[in-house]
Amino acid sequence: MGELLLSLEERIREELTPGPELLRITDPLTHLLGAWSLDRARDAAWTAARALWALRGLPDIAGEFTERMDAAVGFAGRILLTPLPD
């Protein structure tokens, strides 16, 4: 399933790549999104779930871990909202 999603992502990216006139505007966004990996995101989510399961008997630490994960995801979301130049 992961390979199928990756190939689909590649095809969509190729189809949506703008011509040279728009590349100046979209290039920063392309690099930003290019740093994102479906495989790494899935691995990170799985690792976080395993860590939370291991911490289920330690609610204080599990809560702190959840807060830190929430902050990291919020940070990533704010980066994706980076404004593009006019």
Note the pLDDT of residue 3. Answer: 75
Buried-exposed string 5-27: b where 16+ CB fall within 10 A, e elsewhere: eeeeeeeeeeeeeeeeeeeeeee
* 37-54 mean pLDDT: 90
Q: Retrieve residue 8's tokens.
A: 């689909």
Note the pLDDT of residue 76. Answer: 82
Note the pLDDT of residue 67. Answer: 97
Note the pLDDT of residue 33. Answer: 67
